[in-house]
Chain A
Amino acid sequence: MNRKILLLTLILSLTTLIAFAKTTITCSGSTTVLPIAQATAEAFMDGHPDINISIRGGGSGVGIAALINGTIDIACSSRPMKSKEITQAKSKGIEPIPYAIALDGIAVVVHPSNSISNLTIKQLKDIYTGKIKNWNELGGPNLPIVVISRDVSSGTFEVFNERVMAGAKVSSSAQLLASNNAVTTTVSTTPGAIGYAGLGFVSSKVKSVAIEKIIPSEQTVKDGTYKLARKLYMYTNGKAKGAVSQYIAFIQSSQGQKIVEKQGFISLN
């Protein structure tokens, strides 16, 4: 009799534990997507107390590698996956499915005291390769240019590298920083500096420069006239299911897209 009671208690305890166990979603990758992921996760968890979302940065490359290794549910990326990464994923039985969650423009920023307000892609490339070394070569102040770039695991760096550098080497004197915030903070405190970051990280402490006479804005990013416009993604293994599907649907909903805009990025619609 005692044994039966004990067994019943055990089963009940286990059932209760399972019923109240939280579903955890793990998400890592792009530092650009990080503020969107964090803000939307907080709002989503408020409405879904049974779901816990764990978010880490590291860079798009790191998140995609973790998805390929099957250790996370969502890889955040500020660039599309490469053919090499898709092949590696598929051969391991991982079918990466992209979900666009926001639009963004990579803003080129300088110190607010800098009189330069427009750069061409060629001038930008010449600055980053070290060919142009002083702002006065572009009609600006007589001030050496301090080049700030992103580290290689960054998706923002890869998009900038593809569209601006076209494979050319970034000057060895450039400072490579690990996050968008680090770039804007450094530029804001260095008069001769130039850097680039996602639109959501641009504040009044830095000055956003037009590229080919087009300022990054909601309109120019949406209509594609801004040369450094891009989509931000979340990748899942196969079509998103369960809690992961609910979370991504929430980000893509009007409520989620309002949070995207609040974070300084551009909504999909």
Chain B
Amino acid sequence: MKKVILIALIGLILYLPLSSQELKITGEMWNRWTMEGGKAPGDSSNTILKNYFSLERGYLGLEPKFSETVKGRFTIDIFSSDASNDGAGLKLKYAYLDFSNLIPIPDLTTTIGLQKVYFGTIYDWNYDLIGKAPSDEYKIANSSDYGITFNGYIPKGWGEYALGIYNGEGYKNYGANLKDNIEPAFLANLRLTPVGGITIGGSIMANSNGRNKLLADNTTNPNYNQQLLTDGLLRLAYGPLDLWIEYLNKKVSYSEEFSIKDYTANCLSIFPTVKLKKLIGQDLDLVGRYDRWDETDNPANQNLLNCITAGLNYKFMHDESANPAMQLQLNYVYKYYDEEESSAQYANKLKDTSTLMLQLKWRFNNTITL
């Protein structure tokens, strides 16, 4: 029976794109070298902890266009690394359909399926730095989740908005990692571009964790909590400078009887980029980022992390729309904790860490007319 279902699924996956008008085949690979050093409390120098090559991401995608108003996207991530237990892995990253005429509002698209989440900078994040977007990095929100989103653009380039409902589990969680929630996550996102070069906006997401508020015997579930995630962002782009400032807040509330466990965590992230192309003629960017992730209010995982990243981004091959097809990224990431609590589990028993990463990222795409 399982074989029949598998064959039917493979058949459907192959049939759907082939029944489309056009099919875009895409790929994106991240070949990375990572060297990480760390210092335990009392150590005077760093010890090299990791030094390895890996394929951190191997995205392969099909983007069928069924009509002018219906498009799909199916992307898998094949990754390989000696650092992971199994050596390699496979994840389904996106599997959704976009309907642009389902609701008769101009420039409104309804997205159904496993899709990008419009929370904070996750949606915009195109990995100009090797690291993840702050809300993804500090596990505030998932970068991809199952659900439905209504996303649209305000006429005349005034901005964009999104309203979504998701599982709230993300695409990576499984087994014991699952939040085990039965309530969906609700999201609202707004971006405004009042004038060229200035973007202001924010997101709000309500989520729950721990299944039911009450247990089967009608007593209060000590694990049940509600999460309110908020984000405010400002982007300033002028000439060669592109600056993102993001503030994230996560409020976790337990039932009244367990309100002692309530906590708030927040993150301030500043991400400047200086584009040197006009100055030196090469598509070279200087990138930097500072994150301050404050979870000191969380009794289970008290920590105050500072993370500084500096790097270079050299885009040496482009497609016809001037999007980078190949780029070399060099990042140095330094993480340190404000308090001498570095023997705690959260800090991986290290006071601070330094990571050097060199990554060759390459993309390709081709559109076939069927």
Interface residues of A (CB under 8 A from B): 58, 61-62, 65-66, 69-72, 81-87, 89-96, 151-152, 161, 165, 167-170, 172, 176, 238
Identity of the chain A residue whose Cβ is nearest the Cβ of B370 in the assembled complex? A172
Closest to B159 in A: A87
Select the residue from B22, B157, B237, B367 with max chain A CB neighbours within 10 A.
B157
User: Which B66-109 residues sit within 8 Å CB-CB of chain A?
Assistant: 66-69, 100-101, 106-107
Given B21, B157, B242, B322, which contacts A66 in the complex, CB threshold below 8 Å? Answer: B322
Query: In the complex where A69-B321, A167-B69 touch, is A89 in contact with B196 (Cβ < 8 A)?
Result: yes
B residues in contact with A85, CB < 8 Å: 157
Q: Are B67 and A169 in contact (CB under 8 A)?
A: yes
CA distance A89 to B158 in the complex (A): 11
5 closest cross-chain pairs (CB), A and B: A86-B157, A93-B237, A95-B196, A169-B67, A65-B321
What residues of B have a CB within 8 angstroms of the CB of A87 in the complex?
153-154, 157-160, 191, 193
B21 touches A58 (CB 8 A): no
Q: State the CA gap A151–B157 with chains docked (Å).
A: 25
CB–CB B67/A168 < 8 A: yes
Quick one: which of A58, A152, A238 contacts B22, CB cutoff 8 A? A152
Instruction: Given A83-B154, A87-B160, output 13 extra A-B contacts at Cβ < 8 Å.
Output: A61-B321, A69-B322, A70-B275, A70-B277, A85-B157, A86-B157, A87-B154, A91-B193, A93-B239, A94-B196, A168-B68, A169-B66, A172-B370
- Closest chain A residue, CB of each to CB of B321: A65
The interface residues of chain A lying within 8 Å CB-to-CB of B159 are 87
A133→B69 CA distance, assembly (Å): 23
Taking the closest CB of chain B, its distance from the CB of A11, in whole angstroms, is 21
B154 and chain A: residue at smallest CB distance: A83
Q: A83-B156, A168-B67 are contacts. A93–B196 as well, Cβ < 8 Å?
A: yes
The 8 Å CB contact of A86, one of B67, B156, B237, is: B156
- CA–CA, A45 to B321, complex, Å? 26
Contacts of A72 in B (CB 8 A): 322
Least Cβ–Cβ distance between B280 and chain A, in angstroms: 15
Are B107 and A82 in touch, CB under 8 angstroms?
A: yes
Q: Is the CB of B242 within 8 A of A93?
A: yes
- Give the number of residues in B that approach A within 8 Å (Cβ atoms): 40
Q: Are B197 and A93 in contact (CB under 8 A)?
A: yes
B251 within 8 A of A: no
B155 at the interface (CB under 8 A from A): yes
Give bound CA distance, A71 to B323, whole Å. 10
Measured CA separation A65–B107 after assembly (Å):
18
> Residue-by-residue, is B166-179 near A (CB-CB < 8 Å gives 1, otherwise 0)?
00000000000000
Query: Is B235's beta carbon under 8 Å from chain A?
Result: yes
Q: Say what secondary structure dominates the interface of chain B.
A: mixed
Interface pair A83/B68, CB less than 8 Å apart: no
Q: Could you list some 28 contacts between A and B, CB below 8 A?
A: A58-B321, A62-B320, A62-B321, A65-B321, A66-B321, A69-B322, A70-B275, A81-B157, A82-B153, A83-B153, A83-B154, A86-B157, A87-B191, A90-B157, A91-B193, A91-B237, A92-B237, A92-B242, A93-B238, A93-B239, A93-B242, A96-B157, A152-B22, A161-B68, A168-B68, A169-B21, A169-B67, A170-B68
State the CA gap A61–B370 with chains docked (Å).
21
CA–CA, A82 and B158, complex, Å: 12
Nearest CB to that of B67 among chain A residues?
A: A169
- Give the CA-CA distance A69 to B238 in the complex, in Å: 13
Task: Please give, as numbers and ranges, the residues of chain B lying within 8 Å of A91 by CB-CB distance.
Answer: 191, 193, 199, 235, 237
Report which of A83, A94, A96, A161 forms a contact with B107, defined as CB distance below 8 A: A83
A238 and B22 CA atoms in complex are apart in Å by 35
What is the chain A residue whose CB lies nearest that of B107? A83
A81 to B157, CA, bound (A): 9
Q: Which residues of A contact B370 (CB under 8 A)?
A: 172
Chain B neighbourhood of A92, CB < 8 A: 197, 237, 242
Note all chain B residues with C-beta closer than 8 A to A65.
321-323
Whole-angstrom distance between the alpha carbons of A87 and B322 in the complex? 18
Report the separation of the CA atoms of residues A91 and B69 in the bound assembly, to the nearest whole angstrom: 25
Give A92 to B106 CA distance when docked, in angstroms: 23
Which residues in B have their C-beta under 8 angstroms from that of A151? 369
Chain B residues, Cβ within 8 Å of A93: 196-197, 237-239, 242
Contact A172 B68 (CB under 8 A): no
Question: Nearest CB to that of A162 among chain B residues?
Answer: B68
Whether B322 and A71, one on each chain, are in contact in the complex, defined by CB atoms closer than 8 angstroms, is yes
Known: A93-B196, A167-B67, A172-B21. A84 touches B107 (CB 8 A): yes
**Given A65-B323, A167-B68; A89-B239 close (CB under 8 Å):** no
